[in-house]
Amino acid sequence: MSRGFDARITPARADLAAEHLRGKVSAEKFVSGNTMSVITETADLLAKPQLDQSLQSQLLFGEEFVCYESKDGWAWGQAVRDGYVGYVQLTALSEHSKKPDNWVSALRTPVFSQANLKSPINGYLHRNSQVSVSKTSGEYCHVGIGWVSKLHIQAIKTNLPDWVETAKTYLHTSYVWGGRSSFGLDCSALIQNSLQAAGIDCPRDSDMQEAQLGTKIENSDFIRGDLLFWKGHVGVMVCEDNFLHANAAAMKTVIEPVSEAINRIKKTAGELTCARRF
């Protein structure tokens, strides 16, 4: 790959690259790729086509993935929503999904086998999952894999109004490196998920967020909604004194006094590198 490109969000290898990168990167072959959709609750995105790899990120149900190569049960390509590149198991993807018209706005929603809250549950969909409603029955909508409550979904292009309040709904969610679901997520996914629910585009990793989100502030008079960054870490102020973040020290998402967080994180990640405000 040519210099100047971030490998995390550039679909290029020595042997294969996206057609739109022709003339910009070096590769033996360029292909246009085809867009597929996630048909499982989550789909792990890995750096190599091996199940023993560390999780890089996750795709959620209904999200799109541009596949540039299908080989040995794996798809190599790029997530449409945030541009992350990697390998996804082909069993988690389909070329024939309907265009989504709704999204899951609840933290998570059970998928019932029938339009009845007492019916067996097929699984769960997580916030920001994309769904297509094929029919309705009473207070339930059928989304291809089962029925979900109308109260837990919203029409595409509608948003949750307060992204900080949305972030707070992840309180106590387990910390999972690379995770993006309500069952487990990392620090940058907490921010990404919450901003996406408010209709605000957000890159995947904390360094990308530090470079692209908001405006840098020069003082420590933090207010609600300010993002605080360290090397490899990010969180959000929920008021003038308290800070919300998903972290490995607690192995969950917590709210704590910002002064305590800054002093503790300094021991492992160094000084606060930046604070940014929308």
User: Domains in the chain, please, with CATH?
Assistant: 7-94 (2.30.30.40), 102-155 (2.30.30.40), 163-277 (3.90.1720.10)
pLDDT per position as a tens digit, 46-74: 999 999 999 999 999 999 999 999 999 99
Chain mean pLDDT for the chain: 97
For the cut 70, the answer to whether the pLDDT of residue 102 exceeds it is: yes
pLDDT band at 1 (very low <50, low <70, confident <90, very high): low
Of 10-19, 75-84, 94-103, 175-184, give the lowest mean pLDDT range.
94-103
Q: What is the pLDDT of residue 4?
A: 76
Place of tokens 């190569």: 69
Q: What is the pLDDT of residue 2?
A: 55
pLDDT band at 3 (very low <50, low <70, confident <90, very high): low
The span from the CA of 186 to the CA of 173, in Å, is 10
> What pTM value is reported for the model?
0.97
pLDDT band at 39 (very low <50, low <70, confident <90, very high): very high
3-state secondary structure 251-263: CEEEEEEHHHHHH
